[in-house]
Amino acid sequence: MKKVIWTGLLAIAVLLVGAFFLIKEITHAQMPDLETAARLALDHSALNQVEGYEQYTGGPTCYVFLGKDKLGRSMMVFSTKERVLGSEYLDKGVTGSAAEDKARKEAGLTEIIKTTPGLVDSLMKNPSAGKASGRFLWEVYGASPQGQKKYVYLDFYTGNVIATYVLKPTE
C-alpha cells in the first residue's frame, strides 16, 4: 500500500514539475520580443529608465514603455522588436485618469477595466486616424451600466474622443 501511495505522489510531482517547465518555456518564448523592444527603446530614445510596460494592440501592435529620461521627466516610448515607433513626454498630454473621466462622461463607461497609451497608425485605413491631433492617444477599455464592453479612443493631447467601439457580447 505504501508503495502505491509513494508511486502516485512521485507521478504527481513529475507532472507538476513538467507543467511548470512547459509554462516557463511558453512564457519565455514571448519574452525575447519584449527584451529586444525594451533594449531598442532605451538605446534609440531619450528613455533612460523603464518603470513599466504595456502591450498595445489597438493600432500597430507594440510595447509601450513608461519611464523617465536622464532629467527625470516621465515619458512613454512605443517599440517593437524591430524599431522604435515613437515617444512622447507624458506632461505634453492629458493624464490617463483624465482620459478615463472623459470616457465615463462621453461614452457612458461606469467601469474602467484598462487604460493604455496608444499610437495612431497613419497607415491604417481607419477613419478615426485622421481625427487625432498627433500620433498618440489613450485607449480606455471599460463597461457601461448595461454591461456592454467598449473601447474608447481619446486624443492624447486634447482628451477629445476620437472613436468608440462597442463589443458584441459573446454567446
SS (H, E, C) 87-110: EEEHHHCCCHHHHHHHHHHHHCCC
Domain end position, chosen among 91, 112, 136: 91
| Residue 141 phi, psi (nearest 5) | -110, 130
CA atoms of 100 and 139, how far apart (whole Å)? 9
In the chain, how many domains are there? 2
User: pTM of whole model > 0.95?
Assistant: no
Residue with cell 502516485: 8
The share of the chain scoring above pLDDT 70, in percent, equals 78
Domain end position, chosen among 58, 91, 124: 91
pLDDT for 53-85, tens place per residue? 999 988 888 999 999 999 999 999 999 999 999
CA atoms of 114 and 138, how far apart (whole Å)? 10
Domain span at 73? 2-91
CATH number where 68 lies: 3.10.450.40
